[in-house]
């Protein structure tokens, strides 16, 4: 991919075309005996029309494909020549392809929340990244209106691959997964195939079942509280752990009563 990086190169070239064309016309007139100030002026005006009369504007934040006689202009490496924003003199022989316009603005790619599985629990992930075109020839082979969907799908697949072998608490919680996605080898290869590049990405994960997550956290707190009743240095027996778990189940509403080895107290109603 080759792009004319400095439109000011076009202006001195147009001036050179003007001088060369004007002198050429002047000497041609002289050869046939047409001389004088009027014809000299006509020669320079004609040269100016040839050099500066045909202009094309490339809108800001876009690139356009350069054509010669309806065909793409290629550089020495056989790659298409793209023109950056600005006004260009095209000398009546070059044109800019109207249908080959690429937006150079950095664009958002928003990935809606989706569920996947890390090593120890189900999680929900959402992501947002900024991307831009870096290879125009590769990008033009893609359907522009499908590119956002393609990138969303690619990010999802990569996040699933990145999170799958990781533990939530130690390897995902508090980590910007977007950095891992951008650095992932297959992700970079696929982006290169599309001709795009991500400048940044933010991706966050949280447990899919927040209710269960809160329940587990509360359960851990209750266990620590009940364990503390036995003393700091006390090693819990299996029966004591079982008894604590039964107490926790009651407090969480997961059991109706505590089952103990205490004698049953009969309830007698007096009538």
Residue-wise pLDDT tens digits, 128-179: 999 988 887 788 788 878 889 999 999 999 999 999 999 988 898 888 899 9
At 262, the pLDDT band (50, 70, 90 cuts) reads very low
Taking 90 as the threshold, does the pLDDT of residue 192 lie above it?
A: yes
Q: How is residue 223 written in tokens?
A: 């266990």
For residue 210, the model assigns a pLDDT of 60
Q: Each residue of 48-107: pLDDT tens digit?
A: 888 888 888 887 677 788 888 778 888 777 777 888 777 888 888 888 887 666 666 688
Mean pLDDT of 166-195: 91
For residue 271, the model assigns a pLDDT of 42
DSSP β-ladder status, 62-68 and 107-117: unpaired
How far is 35 from 238, CA to CA, in rounded Å?
A: 117
Taking 70 as the threshold, does the pLDDT of residue 7 lie above it?
A: no
Taking 80 as the threshold, does the pLDDT of residue 13 lie above it?
A: yes
Q: How is residue 118 written in tokens?
A: 């890390």
**CB neighbours of 176 closer than 8 A, spacing ≥ 6?**
202, 203, 204
- Of 36-40, 45-49, 250-254, the range with the highest mean pLDDT is 45-49
Average pLDDT value over all residues in the chain? 80
For residue 91, the model assigns a pLDDT of 83
At 261, the pLDDT band (50, 70, 90 cuts) reads very low
Q: Between 225 and 101, whose confidence is greater?
A: 225
Angle between helices 238-251 and 210-228 (to 10 degrees): 130
Query: What's the half-sphere exposure (Cβ side, CA atoms, 13 Å) at 255?
Result: 12
For residue 258, the model assigns a pLDDT of 43
- Of 10-24, 84-98, 250-264, the range with the highest mean pLDDT is 10-24
Q: Which of 13-22, 171-180, 193-202, 216-225 has the lowest mean pLDDT?
A: 216-225
Q: What is the greatest pairwise CA distance in the chain?
A: 142
For residue 126, the model assigns a pLDDT of 92
How far is 258 from 243, CA to CA, in rounded Å?
A: 8
- Given a contact cutoff of 8 angstroms between Cβ atoms, the answer to whether 163 and 94 are in contact is no
């Amino acid at each position: 991919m080759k792009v004319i990086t400095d439109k000011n190169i076009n202006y001195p070239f147009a001036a050179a075309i003007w001088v060369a064309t004007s002198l050429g016309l002047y000497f041609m007139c002289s050869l046939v005996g047409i001389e004088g100030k009027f014809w000299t002026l006509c020669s320079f005006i004609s040269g100016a029309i040839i050099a500066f009369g045909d202009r094309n504007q490339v809108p800001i934040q876009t690139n356009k494909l350069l054509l010669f006689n309806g065909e793409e202009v290629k550089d020495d490496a056989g790659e298409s020549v793209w023109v950056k924003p600005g006004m260009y003199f095209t000398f009546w022989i070059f044109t800019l392809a109207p249908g080959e316009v690429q937006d150079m603005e950095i664009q958002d790619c928003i990935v809606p929340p989706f569920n996947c599985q890390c090593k120890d629990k189900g999680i929900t992930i959402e992501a947002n990244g900024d991307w831009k075109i870096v290879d125009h020839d590769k990008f033009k082979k893609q359907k522009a209106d499908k590119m956002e969907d393609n990138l969303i799908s690619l990010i999802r697949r990569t996040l699933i691959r990145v999170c799958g072998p990781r533990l939530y608490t130690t390897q995902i919680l508090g980590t910007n997964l977007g950095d891992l996605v951008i650095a992932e080898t297959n992700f970079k290869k696929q982006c290169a195939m599309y001709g795009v590049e991500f400048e940044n990405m933010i991706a966050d994960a949280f447990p899919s079942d927040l209710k269960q997550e809160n329940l587990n956290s509360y359960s851990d707190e209750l266990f620590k509280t009940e364990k503390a009743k036995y003393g700091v240095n006390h090693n819990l027996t299996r029966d004591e752990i079982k008894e604590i778990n039964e107490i926790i189940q009651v407090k969480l509403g997961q059991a109706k009563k505590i089952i103990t080895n205490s004698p049953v107290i009969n309830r007698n109603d007096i009538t």
